[in-house]
Amino acid sequence: MKRTLLIAAMLAMGSAALAQEAGIKVLAAGSLRAALTDAARAFEAAAPGRKVELGFGASGLLKDRLVGGERADVFASANMEHPQALAAAGKAAAPQAFARNKLCALGVPGFEATPQTLVDRLLDPTIRVGTSTPKADPAGDYAFAMFERIEKSGRAGANKVLSDKALQLTGGPNSPPPPKDRNVYGALVAANAADVFLTYCTNVVIAQREQPALRRIEIPDVVNVSASYGVTVLIGAPEAATQFVQFLLSPAGQGVLAQHGFATP
């Protein structure tokens, strides 16, 4: 009897250890919050016992935390550069592109613009343009790259005008924390912090779901910027981390991402 109880206890301890081993920590870009939350639940449902702990923030700041020694198993970034930097530092495997996004404009209810007139409206001195913080948050990098494209499209001086006037409202090391369980871009525009905010189209979808009166304006392809998202497995991560990345790249994982507006890589 005692031997039976001992064996049962050892098996229970082994099962607990395996369950703990199957748990992985994922740090990811804030724009992936809804999509990766659903993807993680689908991954867990496909293999009971695996658990995914998710943490979100600006990709550049997350990269800095990982370089500084914070532990994680998977890093999903809103660009390819930050995971590539981790790989170059010997902290992660070579990254893989797993999703695409692009920029849209999110305007206050009274913001009047069409794709054809949007650039003129952005250049209007009376219009306050919101962006994320470049270098810390790839969404800011993409917005500033868009300013360069606007100048190259024939608007002399547009890059400096837009770069100087851009209100870097989120994603930086000193930015206020985003509101809990709300889209930060929709919250900022609804609070009249800017007349129009340049952010990912997937963020605009969520913002309008929470604040239906906000306006979505498509950005012309000639000046828009495509965002390629990268994911990498950190050195020393358990096998479940690689399995999670494989799931994101699988038809099932891509289907979850597509439901949230992301395109295939």
Return the minimum-mean-pLDDT range out of 46-50, 94-98, 132-136.
46-50
Q: Which residues contact 2 (CB under 8 A, 6 or more apart)?
A: none
Burial of 15 (0-12, 13-18, 19+ CB in 10 A): exposed
Per-domain residue ranges of the chain: 2-99+228-259, 101-226
Tokens in use for 194?
């800017």
C-beta of residue 130 within 8 angstroms of C-beta of residue 167: yes
Beta-carbon count within 10 A of 81 CB = 16
**pLDDT at 22 (0 to 100):** 61
The span from the CA of 167 to the CA of 264, in Å, is: 31
CATH C-level class of 101-226: alpha beta
Q: Which residues contact 48 (CB under 8 A, 6 or more apart)?
A: none
When the candidates are 3.40.190.10, 3.40.50.300, 3.40.50.720, 1.25.40.80, the CATH number that belongs to 2-99+228-259 is: 3.40.190.10
For residue range 224-258, what is the model confidence (pLDDT) as tens digits? 999 999 999 999 999 999 999 999 999 999 999 99
For residue range 108-121, what is the model confidence (pLDDT) as tens digits? 999 999 999 999 99
